[in-house]
Amino acid sequence: MWLLYQFPLCPFSRKIRLLMSEKNIPYELRREDPWAATDLFFNLNPAGRTPVVVNEQKSLVLADSRAIAEYFEETVDHAPMINGTAAQRAEIRRLVALFDENFYADVTAPLLSERMKKRLVLRQPPDSRVLREAMKLAHGHLDYLDWLIDNRPWVAGSTMSMADLAAAAQISVADYLGGIDWAGHEQSRGWYAVFKSRPSFRPLLAERMDVIKPPPHYALLDG
């Protein structure tokens, strides 16, 4: 049984939860609040970020969500998620980076800052200009996702891959925080609805963060 240090609204933790569930790797959750920054956690990961996974013998500590994903891809054959030719694998990794870095910086990070950190930690009202800009940029990212889904069955090609997990993880956190307007994004919405019904995704959708409530459509399978 692996230990997964994570935070419910950390999109990178969600990506690894989805991956481990899809691969049938058993794990137990340990919550690590990003604002706590305990010495214990910095000893596990000098980058101070979730997720971190630790094996049962505590002899192996893995940090950084992409490094963790590559490790499980190399060691667990079931449900390959970085699959195909070298070029196809490069396309999967390019799209993982696009969601991990660009979508996160444009959409998820400002939403987390305005709707979670300001509420739970700073006790300030959100800045509506920042929220509007994040939601505008979300539309641009969903336009690109619509285009991808128009051209291929899954985000990076003919089978489900880490690119789908990375995209779904970011979008699910943004959707929880009310930052996703699905109007006009039928392709993305259809792809996401399929995802929401997967057994790997159900536990994430059932969780609720203290004080902060998601919009009514968030956990609905046809939302």
Task: Give φ, ψ of 54 to 5 degrees.
Answer: -130, 135
Q: Which is nearer to its own copies, 38 or 55 (CB)?
A: 55
Sign of the C-alpha dihedral computed for residues 22, 171, 175 and 29 taken in this order: positive
Residue 150 interacts with its own copies (CB under 8 A): yes or no? no
Q: Which is nearer to its own copies, 75 or 128 (CB)?
A: 75
Sign of the C-alpha dihedral computed for residues 109, 128, 139 and 217 taken in this order: positive
Least separation, in Å, of the C-beta of 89 and its own copies? 7
Q: Please report where in the chains the tokens 């985000």 appear, as a residue.
A: 155
* Cross-strand partners of 54: 3, 61
Q: Please report where in the chains the tokens 């709707």 appear, as a residue.
A: 115
Residue 199 interacts with its own copies (CB under 8 A): yes or no? no
Q: Which is nearer to its own copies, 188 or 205 (CB)?
A: 188
Helix (H, G, I), strand (E, B) or coil at 203: helix
Q: Which is nearer to its own copies, 35 or 147 (CB)?
A: 147
Least separation, in Å, of the C-beta of 17 and its own copies? 18
Contact yes or no for 162/19 (Cβ under 8 A): yes
User: By CB under 8 A, what part of segment 47-76 binds its own copies?
Assistant: 47, 60, 62-64, 66-68, 70-71, 74-75
Q: Which is nearer to its own copies, 162 or 177 (CB)?
A: 162
User: By CB under 8 A, what part of segment 69-128 binds its own copies?
Assistant: 70-71, 74-75, 86-87, 89-90, 93-94, 96-98, 101-102
Rounded Cα gap, residues 156 and 148, in angstroms: 8
Q: 92 in the Ramachandran plot: left (φ > 0), alpha (ψ -120 to 50) or beta?
A: alpha
Residue 46 interacts with its own copies (CB under 8 A): yes or no? yes
- What residue ranges bind its own copies (CB under 8 A)? 46-47, 60, 62-64, 66-68, 70-71, 74-75, 86-87, 89-90, 93-94, 96-98, 101-102, 144
